[in-house]
Amino acid sequence: MKKILKVLSVLIVALSLVACSNNVPTDSSEKVLTIGYDRDAELLDTIKTAWYSDALIYIHDRLVTRDYDFSYQPGLAKSWETSDDGITWRFVLRDDVTFHDGSEFTSEDVKWTLDTILDPETGSPFMGDLASIKSVEIIDDYTIDIILNYPFPNLLFNLSTTASGIHPANAYETYGDDYGKRVIIGSGPYKFEGWVSGDRTVLVRNEDYAWGPDWMENQGPALIDKIIMKVLPEENSRIMELEVGGIQILRNVPEIYVDQLNENDEVSIYQEPATKLGYLAYATDKEPFNDIKVRQALNHAINKEDVIQFVFTGMGEVAHGYLPPALSDEYLQESVDLAYDFNPQKAKDLLTEAGYPDGLTLSLSADNSSKMSKLAEIVQVQLKEVGIETEIRLYDSSSYADFLRQGEQELFINEYSWPNADIIDWFLLSERIPYPNHSKWNDPTTDEMIMDAAQSSSWEERAQGYKEVQEYLIEQAVWVPIYIPMNTIAARAEVTNFKYHPWMLQYNDGFDIDIE
């Protein structure tokens, strides 16, 4: 009898989970798109968070947008022009936009948003990215001037990112501590409905939306009524939910599941080169990683080709430097020639020269996804071949972020996703220690080179400056760049009018759901 009751209990729980995962709407005519994610938001406030949930892309509009060719296009700003000295940027704003709370969008909202990011008391992780801004001046209700401290050709990129989503003025004063948790106000194509931490974020269509950018097919209200962003930390669960229809779209599909999904007639796979890079890093502020010979030894110890084959089933590229080749303007082509070759004997020799003839014993940390777990295991085996013993420590995604913030790491594996060279600033400027500069790389030369590049008078000079930064970082062996993955997205057949975007899917641009 106990066994029968136990079986019945398991069946009831399983059926409940299936019912919940399918997210069947009360109104059968309601079009609901459910997307699977491996991690949840930390805070739904673009100003204060360092982890930008996809939800924020659709809640907030930005001054500048990026089209399907990744070119800069108008958004909330209809147009802009720059003074001859590159110091003053004038933005002319749309006059037909309203926020989700019904208030009218004006210059005051732009000024409040940018000023709040730049206020040190706010503690915005994005503050450094806007450090070039001296002031934001209102010319009239729909015209602003952004005055810079120095020429900064990357301003358009920064104003196009999720972090620059525009909020209504005085949102913090109006909504208090609830803002970013229970209340989020933007002017985007979707409104915030609710967030259950660790489970899901729910967005509903903004019926009043009529100001989509010109490059979109659909500039009015989205066709999909509701978006549910479902948190499914376990990879097998995400794949299963996709195959049975519990979710309709899965971004960042693990490579080991691509063949399986390709055999499913109800699922389509979309792949493009990613603006991502995975690497092995180390706390450079402590022994033995403060010795360049140890860092060089680690670079020579890793067989990246084997990693691509065994972890990514051949779907990916070897990373030679610190940026992915997809960033064609800024990528250092010479990285291939400058990179450290796989040479275990050279690694052993360097360790001996550094004073470690008998090798080292270290911890190796990573998140507990199947990809990173496999990568950690291969790295562990390869390091052992050169005399470095490691103890693997795995964390769930949120715990891993907390662990890196605390600064207890020795060796650790990380991956970034960002379409601009300023990701180097994010992870390697000394002012970003201890977070997000997890490597604790505190080097005046790096700081100076990055700032010189960032403050160049033209985009071309800036790109050249970042190439010089990359060359220097390779020389200093600050990381062990390992791989560049493919950007792999899976969508079920009921998702119609799918459009691939190089950075983020634009669900309001004609995406639809067949509910028949």
Q: What is the span of the domain harbouring residue 95?
A: 21-248+494-516
Q: Residues 65, 211: one domain?
A: yes
Query: Higher confidence at residue 401 or residue 291?
Result: 291
Residue 10 lies in a domain: no
CATH assignment of the domain containing 230: 3.40.190.10
Confidence grade of residue 398 (pLDDT, cut at 50, 70, 90): confident
Confidence grade of residue 27 (pLDDT, cut at 50, 70, 90): low
Q: Residues 346, 417: one domain?
A: yes
Q: What are phi and psi of 250, to 5 degrees?
A: -130, 115
Q: What is the mean pLDDT of residues 287-299?
A: 98
Q: Compute the distance between CA of residue 493 and CA of residue 242 in angstroms, rounded to an integer.
A: 11
User: Which runs of consecutive H residues, i.e. helices, occur in 123-234?
Assistant: 155-160, 171-175
Q: Compute the distance between CA of residue 453 and CA of residue 457 in angstroms, rounded to an integer.
A: 9
3-state helix, strand, coil split of the chain in percent (to 5) is: 35, 25, 45
Residue 11 above 80 pLDDT? no
Query: Higher confidence at residue 504 or residue 362?
Result: 362
Q: Residues 241, 166: one domain?
A: yes
Q: Residues 397, 285: one domain?
A: yes
Residue 139 lies in a domain: yes
Residue 99 lies in a domain: yes
Residue 10 above 60 pLDDT? no
pLDDT above 90 covers what percent of the chain? 80
Q: 33 Cβ partners below 8 Å, 6+ apart? A: 224, 226, 227, 228, 248, 249, 495, 507, 511, 513
Q: Residues 322, 371: one domain?
A: yes
pLDDT in tens, 247-263: 999 998 988 899 999 99
Confidence grade of residue 25 (pLDDT, cut at 50, 70, 90): very low
Residue 13 lies in a domain: no
Of 232, 237, 235, 257, nearest in space to 490 by CA: 257
Residue 455 above 60 pLDDT? yes
Q: What is the mean pLDDT of residues 186-195?
A: 97
**Angle of helix 444-454 relative to helix 459-476, nearest 10 degrees?**
160
Q: Residues 108, 188: one domain?
A: yes
pLDDT at 15: 39
pLDDT at 70: 86
pLDDT at 372: 93
What are the DSSP calls for 365-416, one per residue?
A: EEE-SHHHHHHHHHHHHHHHTTTEEEEEEEE-HHHHHHHHHHT--SEEEEEE
CATH assignment of the domain containing 430: 3.10.105.10
Q: Residues 192, 301: one domain?
A: no
What's the mean pLDDT when you consider all of the chain? 92
Residue 266 lies in a domain: no
